[in-house]
Amino acid sequence: MIEDRVAVAMSGGVDSSTAAAILKDQGYDLVGFSMQLWDQNRDHTGAGKPGSSRCCSLEDIYDARSVASRLGFPYYVVNFQKEFERRVVRSFIEKYRDGYTPSPCVLCNSHLKFDHLMRMAEEVNASRVATGHYARVTRDVETGRHLLLRAKDRNKDQSYYLFELTQEQLAKAMFPLGELSKAQVRQIARRYDLDVAEKPESQEICFIPDGDYAGFIERHYDDVVGKAEGEDPFPGGDIIDREGRVLGKHSGIHRYTIGQRRGLGIASPAPLYVIDLRPDKRQVVVGSRTELGRASCTVIEPNWISVPKPHKTLRITAKIRSRHPDAPATADLLEDGSVHVKFDNPQPAVSPGQAC
């Protein structure tokens, strides 16, 4: 391995481009990689035209290649579309159909992007890997553990999406933007005269161009999961209240998530929210905002980063969504290895399938 060589993931956006510029300025020998994960030509609007791109478009590839050329380092595009479809997109579709609200960005980061980036780093003799995530990593000199830290700019912090990274991955990871704000990142991009300095950022899941999750799932169920003869993969059912009274009808569980308020199609004098999904009974349960609160949740696949697996109750703060404020709680390790998280105060819209 070449000690100062870094494999840097490049999406074509301002964050990964600026991360590369910072590392180049610090004297690192860079090799850039873009991962082709989803073919945007598979998505079309109602007019039959491709939807607006947010991932893996020719424009993004062109922008990433231009940045690498301007900064003077080699750049490669690698195709992982089949694996991305199998490991991320299929899981996303099946989970939504089964009443969960999955976190595809967590799955993609830990089980696809970092795995492959580390393998590609080995192929070019790079000792480290870098991305444009807003996060930080350090090492505890007393325990030897590598620690995942939140970004200095809490408004941009992306550590929530990286919690599954292993000690091996964290040991090689570099996050050059962890100490910076978005405004500082754009300022640096302008200083290097990068064409992507003003490029807008996406807030949506990268492989869904229009943000219409239900539409995406319906369009791609047959070609990703497989067509089931004589079976409707999205059966309709009843919308009920907690007492079981039928308030309306729905056209598929996949169209609803816990906490949802809009698009229920129910006339009510007070706002109603989705408080539970029962796919086995094809039921969507709605209720008032106060009924959204949950006192606890179970984390089924914990990753112990900063501490060894505990054998006693821990006092923690828990974040149930990336933009949700930390909530004081206790954590107890269960016999099957999962963790029971009990909040000091009930949390709104705790959604099965999400990360905590």
Residues identified as active-site: 108, 206
End-to-end CA distance of the chain: 36
**Residue 115 tokens, joined:** 């795995």
Cα–Cα distance for residue pair 163/355, rounded to 1 Å: 9
Cα–Cα distance for residue pair 119/102, rounded to 1 Å: 26
Task: Name residue, tokens 């040991």.
Answer: 171
Inter-residue contact 152 to 135 (CB < 8 Å): no
Residues in the chain: 356
Beta strands in the chain (DSSP E): 2-9, 29-36, 75-79, 126-130, 135-139, 146-150, 173-174, 237-240, 246-250, 273-278, 283-287, 293-299, 314-318, 327-333, 339-348
Query: What is the SS3 assignment for 161?
Result: helix
Q: What is the DSSP letter of 289?
A: G
Exposure letters 150-163 (e unless 16+ CB within 10 A, then b):
bbbbeebbbbbbbb
| Helices (H) then strands (E): counts for the chain | 9, 15
Task: Name residue, tokens 């003799």.
Answer: 125
